[in-house]
Amino acid sequence: MNRRIFLFGLSTALSSCTSGRKPRLNVYNWDNYVARDTIGEFERRHGCRVRYGVYASAEEMLAKVLTGNSGWDVVFPSNSFVQPMRDLDLLLPLDRGKLRNAGNLERRFRSPEWDPGLNWCIPYMHSATGIIYSNSVARVPQSWADLWTESYSRRLTMLDDPAEVFAACLKRFGCSINSADDRELRKARDLAIEQKPLLRAYLNEEVRDQVVAGDVLVAQMWAQVAQVAISSNPHLSFVFPSEGFALYADNISILRESKHRELAYEFVDYLLEARTAAAIASEVHAATANGAARELLPQSERNNAILYPSAETLRRGEWFRALSVTAQRLRDRYWTEIKSA
């Protein structure tokens, strides 16, 4: 027993030792969403230390911060998570006066549908879901329906994400990707089961390697990841399906539990600087919501059609929304049916 107490004390002492004298900001972000020196420069400017954690899914982040006592200060929720996190009282209402650079945001992100007053979050990077394909395919995919054909048999993958798979199926009937209607969802489920024998696998980001290597010819993929793939293999292309596609954006929010609010505001403001955002967008091949940053990007990146689709293309896009409990239940059940078919 003594040993336990000793070790307990030791570990607590150790962890408090490492925190040091400088104030420490705790940032919890998606992986690969900052440039090499982004954090370092912030630390130097403000004489602080930043603990930078990464997560792979929004659910993972939510599970961690749900208690209101997680230790994180700044998080990056996707747009469909902002409303739920507000309802759970997890977010700090933003004092816009403290964010001098908020004016840098691109027009269409100054009043997004998930937070019209930008009281709870600041849009950070945005993306969409489409189809990436190898230029060597005999039949170039233009729509979701093309993914149901025999042409790519076994060298086709879809995302391992119920929201995305349902979105693709629902778009084929012209329904909303956020549909909660049981009949529509059931039709979507049947479609997905129909497609399953044609699929190699349900994979998320990890399929990028396989597409680059040529294992997989066609994949449902996020625009940002597709751009990264194309950068390493120019014989790939990306298309926004004709029936419509899903849009999403990651945003910066400060948690209500944060003990370093001032520092957190500085961090958000720092990320809103044109130079910082441009550096990040350039390095990770992401589409920044920061209009001023976009101006600073080289011509080729600024007008990259994959990352910054034209207004006409965007018209076919639809934002993800938070779903009701019943809708979630239905979708989850159908997703299990799809996966185990």
Partner 1 sequence: MISLSRWFRAPAELVMLLLFYLPLAMVFGYSFLTRGAYGGASRPVTVEAYGRVFDLLYLRIVFRSISIATASTAICLVAAFPLAFYIARFARAKTLLINLVTLPFWTSFLIRTYAWMFLLRDTGLINVVLQRIGLISKPLPLLFNDGAVILGLVYGYLPFMVLPIYATLEKLDPALLDAAEDLGATPWVAAWKVAVPLAKPGIIAGSILVFIPCLGAYLTPDLMGGGKTVMLGNLVQNQFTAARDWPFGAAISLVFMGAVFVVMRLLRNYAEDSL
Partner 2 sequence: MVLGVFSFNASRIANWNGFTLDWYLQVFGDSLLWEGTLNSLIIATATTAIATALGTLAAYSLWKTKAPVLTTSLYLSLVTPEVLTGVSLLLLFQLLFRLIHLRLGMHTVILAHVSFSLVYVVLVVLSRLRQFDRDLEDAALDLGGTPWQTFWHVTLPLLVPGILAAALLCFTVSFDDYVITSLVAGIDSQTLPMLIYAMARKGVSPEVNALSVLITVVLGALILAADRIEQRSSAKLKA
Q: Which does 7 bind (CB under 5 to 8 A by kind): partner 2, partner 1, none?
A: partner 2
- Interface characters, 297-326, with partner 1 (x: CB under 8 A): ----------------------------x-
Name the residue type at position 131: I
Cβ atoms of residues 64 and 28 within 8 Å: yes
Annotate 241-263 with b (16+ C-beta within 10 A) or e (fewer).
bebbbbbbbbbbbbbebbebeeb
Where do we find the tokens 């976009």?
294
Quick one: 35 or 58, whose CB is closer to partner 1?
58
Pick the stretch among 39-47, 114-122, 155-163, 185-193 that binds partner 1 (CB under 8 A).
Answer: 155-163
For residues 44-63, which are near partner 1 according to CB under 8 A? 57, 59-60, 62-63
Binding site for partner 2 (CB under 8 A): 3-4, 7-8, 11-12, 14-15, 18, 26, 28, 31-32, 51, 53-54, 56, 64, 67, 69-72, 204-206, 208-209
The DSSP secondary-structure symbol of 139 reads S
User: In the bound complex, what is the minimum distance in angstroms from residue 234's beta carbon to partner 2?
Assistant: 18
For position 202 contacting partner 1 by CB under 8 A, the verdict is yes
Position among 18, 19, 303, 328 found at the interface with partner 1 (CB under 8 A): 328
**Residue 115, helix vs strand vs coil:** coil
CA-CA distance, 146 to 102, in Å (whole number)? 41
Q: 233-236: list long-range contacts, CB under 8 Å, 24+ apart.
A: 235/134, 235/135, 235/136, 236/132, 236/133, 236/134, 236/135, 236/211, 236/212
Placement of tokens 């990264």 in the chain? 228
Q: Taking CB under 8 A as the rule, does residue 160 contact partner 1?
A: yes
Which conformational region is residue 32 in: left (phi greater than 0), alpha (psi within -120 to 50 degrees), or beta? Answer: left
Q: Which CB sits closer to partner 2, 70 or 290?
A: 70
Task: Summarize as ranges the residues that interact with partner 1 (CB under 8 A).
Answer: 1, 57, 59-60, 62-63, 66, 84, 87-88, 154, 157, 160, 162, 196, 199-203, 210, 213-215, 325, 328-329, 332-333, 335-337, 339-340
